[in-house]
């Protein structure tokens, strides 16, 4: 049980650090704050709402992992290195893919809401 408690406090520490210092994380938290009530109006089912919010949470999760990759790379070396650049670029690509997923899920939900189809 102590391991779970320690993991929780480590997660809270990371959340606070990212919320204070990472602009992308801050923007995604604002997106989540907007998505929570907006998703209620866009979706027409609980499943649809869960999908909309889950897509935003996926984006946040990928951003957290990307930030971790960048921090590990920077801790290793701040000098230019092709392998470090690739690791950072791959993390950035993962975030971009997540953004596309969020846009697609929300776009489909909005279109379905407008034309009256179920999610």
pLDDT in tens, 18-74: 999 999 999 999 999 999 999 999 998 999 999 999 999 999 999 999 999 999 999
Give the whole-angstrom CA distance, residue 47 versus residue 25.
Answer: 26
pLDDT in tens, 60-91: 999 999 999 999 999 998 888 999 999 999 99
The model's confidence at residue 97, banded by pLDDT at 50, 70 and 90, is very high
Q: What is the pLDDT of residue 116?
A: 82
- Cα dihedral 28, 96, 103, 45 sign: negative
pLDDT(104) > 70: yes
Residue whose structure tokens are 């997540």: 98
Closest among 55, 51, 34 to 102, alpha carbons compared: 55
């Amino acid at each position: 049980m102590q391991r779970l408690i320690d993991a929780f406090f480590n997660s809270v520490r990371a959340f606070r650090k990212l919320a204070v210092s990472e602009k992308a994380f801050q923007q995604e938290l604002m997106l989540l704050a907007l998505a929570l009530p907006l998703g209620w109006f866009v979706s027409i089912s609980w499943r649809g709402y869960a999908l909309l919010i889950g897509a935003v949470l996926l984006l946040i999760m990928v951003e957290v992992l990307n930030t971790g990759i960048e921090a590990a790379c920077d801790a290793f070396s701040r000098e230019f290195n092709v392998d470090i650049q690739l690791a950072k670029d791959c993390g950035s690509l993962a975030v971009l893919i997540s953004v596309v997923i969020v846009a697609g899920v929300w776009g489909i939900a909005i279109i379905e809401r407008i034309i009256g189809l179920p999610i």
